[in-house]
Amino acid sequence: MIITSSKNEKIKLINKLKIKNKRDKYGLFIIEGYREVLRAEIANIKFDSLYICPKLFLGENENNLIDKIKDKNVPIYEVEKDVFEKFSYRDRADGILAIASSFHHSLDDIEKIIKNKKNPFLVVLEKIEKPGNLGTILRSSDAAGVDAIIVTDPVTDIFNPNVVRASVGTLFTKPIAIQTNENVLNFLKKNKINILAATPHAKKVYFDENFDSSIAILVGAEQYGLTDFWMKNANVQVKIPMLGIADSLNVAAATIVLLYEAIRQRKTY
Measuring CA to CA, which residue among 186, 182, 156, 185 is closest to residue 171? 156
Strand order in the sheet with 236-239: 176-179, 148-152, 121-126, 215-219, 194-198, 236-239, 204-205
Structure confidence by residue, pLDDT tens digits, 130-184: 999 999 999 999 999 999 999 998 899 999 999 999 999 999 999 999 999 999 9
pLDDT band at 257 (very low <50, low <70, confident <90, very high): very high
Burial of 251 (0-12, 13-18, 19+ CB in 10 A): buried
- Among residues 150, 120, 117, 139, which one has the least CA distance to residue 219? 150
Q: Where are the domains of the chain?
A: 2-101, 107-266
pLDDT at res. 224: 84
The CATH number of domain 107-266 is 3.40.1280.10: yes
pLDDT in tens, 13-56: 999 999 999 999 999 999 999 999 999 999 999 999 999 999 99
65-95 confidence digits (pLDDT tens): 999 999 999 999 999 999 999 999 888 999 9
The tens digit of pLDDT for each residue in 130-143 reads 999 999 999 999 99
**Domain 2-101, CATH:** 3.30.1330.30
CA-closest candidate to residue 185, choices 194, 173, 176:
194
pLDDT (tens digit, 9 = 90+) per residue, 183-210? 999 999 999 999 999 999 899 999 999 9
Closest CA to 51 of 33, 35, 64: 33
Q: Is the pLDDT assigned to residue 1 strictly greater than 80?
A: no
Exposure on the CB side of residue 190, measured as CA atoms within 13 A: 12
Instruction: Supply the pLDDT for residue 98.
Output: 98
Closest CA to 215 of 101, 86, 108, 117: 117
Phi/psi of residue 3, each to 5°? -75, 120
* Beta bridge pairs of residue 3: 79
Of 78, 87, 86, 102, the residue nearest 18 (C-alpha): 87
Residue 132, Cα to own-chain centre: how many angstroms?
9
End-to-end CA separation in angstroms for the chain: 49
208, 263 contact by CB (below 8 A): no
244 φ, ψ to 5°?
-110, -155
DSSP state at residue 145: T
